[in-house]
Amino acid sequence: MISAGSLESRMIEMPMKIGELARQAGVGVETIRYYQRRGLLRIPPRPPGSYRRYSRDMVDTIVQIRKLRTLGFSLEEIRMLLQGQVEACRDVRVSIERHIGSTGRKLKELTWRLGCLQRALKEIPCEKDRRCCGLVCLTVWAKGPQRPFCRKG
């Protein structure tokens, strides 16, 4: 008798159509096609009168691509990594260091923006003054000389 677990593991190892690949990888079919056009995923041959079949390792590759995108890597950088064009560990470290710097700059910008928004929320008299007119009130507040924190430059 075949157990459900062994049947399931055999089904996962069997080649799958693009829709099943998308479902298992947690992406849409169009995302897979986009990755193929960008050179991130190979396009399997299409047997005559049939559908292309994708292997389980393609699921892992798609998950890897999504994780690298989350970390800020561009599709071109990911393509180079997947194709082995970035061979030296040193090159990978340099790329990671560059992303750390970029992320730090973005964090500084977001922290600045958060501070401005928090100050605006505290200082704009919208709840107390019915004459406050939304965007105009906010714009006047942000330009005020007493708010250099919210002006860049």
Same domain membership, residue 56 and residue 95: no
Of 31, 54, 87, the domain-final residue: 87
Q: How far from chain centre, in Å, is Cα 135?
A: 32
Domain that holds residue 26: 1-87
User: Within 10 Å of residue 58's Cβ, how many Cβ atoms?
Assistant: 21
User: Do 17 and 79 sit in the same domain of this protein?
Assistant: yes
**pLDDT of the residue at 136:** 67
Residues 110 and 151 in one domain: yes
In this structure, what token pair is assigned to residue 89? 């560990």
- pLDDT for the residue 132: 60
Residue 15 near residue 55, CB atoms below 8 Å: yes
Q: Which residues pair with 16 in a beta bridge?
A: 54
Question: Both tokens of residue 71?
Answer: 């970390």
Q: What is the rounded CA–CA span in Å between residue 49 and residue 10?
A: 25
95 and 80 share one domain:
no
The CATH number for 42's domain is: 1.10.1660.10
Q: What is the pLDDT along the chain (153 residues), one digit of tens a residue?
A: 445 555 455 444 678 999 999 999 999 999 999 999 999 999 999 888 889 999 999 999 999 999 999 988 899 989 888 887 666 677 788 888 999 999 999 999 999 989 888 887 777 766 665 666 666 666 766 676 655 555 554
3-state helix, strand, coil in the chain (%, to 5): 65, 0, 35
